[in-house]
A and B are shown apart, each in its own frame.
Chain A
Amino acid sequence: MSTVEARAGAGLAAPAIVYFVLFWALPALAALYLSFTSYDLSGTPQWVGLDNYRQMVTSDEFWSSAWVTLLYTVFAVGPTIVIALVVAVPLAKPGRFRAWLRGLIFIPAVMPLVGATVLWQVIYSTGGLADTIAQAAGVGARPWLTDSDYAIWALLVMVIWKYVGLYVIIFVAGLQALPANVFEAAAIDGARTLRTFFLVTVPLLRRTFTFVIVVAVTGAMQSFVPAYLLTKGGPVNATQVLPLYLYNNAFSYSRFGYASAIAIVLLVVLLIFAFTQFTLVRSDEE
């Protein structure tokens, strides 16, 4: 019997095993190896030891890219989560009207990112919606995507718009899973709306917060499409996030060894972040 089970299990899992070995395990090891080599796809990789990493830490472009990524991550995640939570609290209550509003808010999140970015290209073009609104507000038209003072903020506005609905839905799900009697108890205690929000709702949503922050941060740190499509990383690298820096090194300059080293650094940062989150959540639950 157990041999039958073992054979069936191995058979059912075989395609996945082949896939994960071929497309994840081996490539991950290969990436680590490549990060210690110089490789341009012609010929074989040349071992260069830590050269790529040394070059990285002395490269202004890398540090500027890391800074842009940090900025991008902080200002994509922070405002998105705050807005999402503020909107989710009133939207979490039952009712057809609210369900309908939730559906509408979610639409940008369901749109393909590439299609949405193409739309924002037009919105940020000269005489586009952004200019129109800025003029109406008395600010006046701006070169949104071609001025290094504005480009990253323009990107961020788009990204927040794109993803806020997603986190609204997640927060709503988290809020609706909370026990109603807690809120009733808070109301009986005479707590005001704001007090309830900070002293009851926010602490109870801890798990949801953790989940949302992990998803949002890891997503933002790997974000490639908006920077690639809207600004190509420009102007003057003002929007060159790390994934774009990696892409350019690999596929524009054929520096596969150096690009692999960037990938490894990105991975390590993501793992440290995930690990920190994990231990924080664990200590929370004890």
Chain B
Amino acid sequence: MRIGRPLTAVALIGFVALMLLPLYSMIVLASAPDDGDLSGLGFHGFALFDNIGQIMTDGRFPRYLMNSVLIASAVSVLDVAISAAAGYALARLRFPGRAALLNLVVIALSLTPAVVMIPVFVMLSEIGWLNSYQGLIAPFAASALGVFLVRQFALGIPVQMLHAARVDGASELRIFLRIAVPLLRPALLTVLLLQFLAQWDNLIWPLIAASEQELWTLPLALSSFEGEHGIVYHLQTAAALISILPPLVLFSFLQRYYVSGLTLGGVKR
């Protein structure tokens, strides 16, 4: 034990260093002026901002970035709105179809997206929504996880408080907006964050549903970087670096909502 402590500390620090090594090399690679040294261990000049500038001015990268921001924002806002309303209703209102919806949500939670991917693709192609913003947004406009998370959280809102608001004369909509939504804020932020990160990182759906480059998102652009630019690893890494920054920033501000979303059900009873 007595010798164990510093040993543990050294081992831990070593492990963390190993974890961070790829990140360090990412910055090195993204800052390289060319692909001369790919080891990513030492800086050879610092061209990060030139590289970023080149990506942003050359080709359609700004467009992809904008598409990503637009789609991830639209999806996460829609998901929060729909999940908030449905999760609250499931937890705290009695209405016909409640049990059916809860069953749907629980089933959807255990389905893999791979199962519904093909029929949704066929459906959207039938109605002409492939290669459209709505076709990239609508399939993710709500989420089973979002509804479920909000519902679990809303079960903590005391029924008496809602009764109090009714006696106060508030309409059900007013109760939802003025009482439930503020109280559900942590859950809603968790859903917002999780869905934004998921969409920011969504490759397979745009890959299927957006063949037109006008609609490409960052993941799609990154996955096709070679096709568009040839093998230029320092630029590709710089582009990847750009795609990594918004989630990291978002995460650093909303960390506790992310962790609470993660551990829901895992740790708590």
**Which residues of A does B touch, CB under 8 Å?**
1-2, 4-10, 12-13, 15-17, 19-21, 23-28, 30-31, 34, 41, 87, 90-91, 101, 103-105, 107-108, 110-116, 118-123, 125-129, 131-132, 161, 164-166, 169-170, 173-174, 177, 192-193, 207-208, 211-212, 215, 218, 221-222, 224-225, 228-229, 243, 246-247, 250-251, 256, 259-260, 263-264, 266-267, 270-271, 274
Contact = CB atoms under 8 A, between A and B. Distances in A.
Contacts of B243: 112, 114-115
Given A8-B93, A225-B204, 9 more contacts: A8-B173, A10-B89, A13-B97, A17-B104, A24-B104, A27-B119, A116-B240, A169-B262, A208-B266
A27 B161 CA distance: 39
B8 A119 contact: no
Max chain B CB contacts within 10 Å: which of A6, A9, A131, A207?
A: A9
Contact of B204 (A116, A207, A247, A270): A247
Given A9-B89, A111-B248, A173 B141 contact: no
Contact of A87 (B15, B118, B123, B139): B15
B164 interface: no
Nearest to B24: A129
Contact of A132 (B19, B39, B86, B203): B39
A104 B118 contact: no
Contacts of B100: 17
Contacts of A17: 86, 97, 100-101, 104
Given A13-B85, A17-B97, A27 B123 contact: yes
Nearest to A249: B118
A84 to B, nearest CB: 11
A10 B95 contact: yes
B266 to A, nearest CB: 4
Nearest to B264: A211
A23 B237 contact: no
B229 interface: no
B71 interface: no
Ranked 6 nearest A-B pairs via Cβ: A9-B95, A8-B172, A9-B93, A16-B86, A211-B266, A27-B119
Given A111-B248, A114-B223, A211-B266, A13 B90 contact: yes
B39 A208 contact: no
B105 A26 contact: no
Contact of B251 (A13, A28, A110, A222): A110
A256 B118 contact: yes
Interface string B245-269: 0011001000100110011011111
B267 A177 contact: yes
Interface string B18-39: 0111110110010000000111
Contact of A111 (B123, B144, B244): B244
10 contacts: A6-B95, A20-B101, A20-B108, A108-B23, A110-B251, A112-B218, A112-B243, A121-B233, A161-B19, A246-B114
Contacts of B225: 118
B107 interface: yes
A207 B268 CA distance: 9
A34 B268 CA distance: 40
Interface string B80-102: 01110110111001111110110
A91 B112 contact: no
Interface string B116-134: 1111111101000000000
Interface in B1-54: 1, 4, 8, 12-13, 15-16, 19-23, 25-26, 29, 37-41
B112 A266 contact: yes
A5 B16 contact: no
A133 to B, nearest CB: 9
B115 A27 contact: yes
Contacts of B176: 8, 12
Nearest to A102: B16
B236 interface: yes
Given A13-B89, A31-B116, A114-B203, A267 B111 contact: yes
B98 A16 contact: no
A110 B82 contact: no
Nearest to A20: B104
B240 A119 contact: yes
Contact of A207 (B108, B258, B267): B267
A10 B96 contact: yes
A19 B142 contact: yes
Contacts of A104: 16, 19-20
A215 B109 CA distance: 12
A161 B22 contact: yes
A165 to B, nearest CB: 7
B208 interface: yes
Contacts of B219: 112, 114-115
Contact of A193 (B1, B104, B166): B1
B9 to A, nearest CB: 8
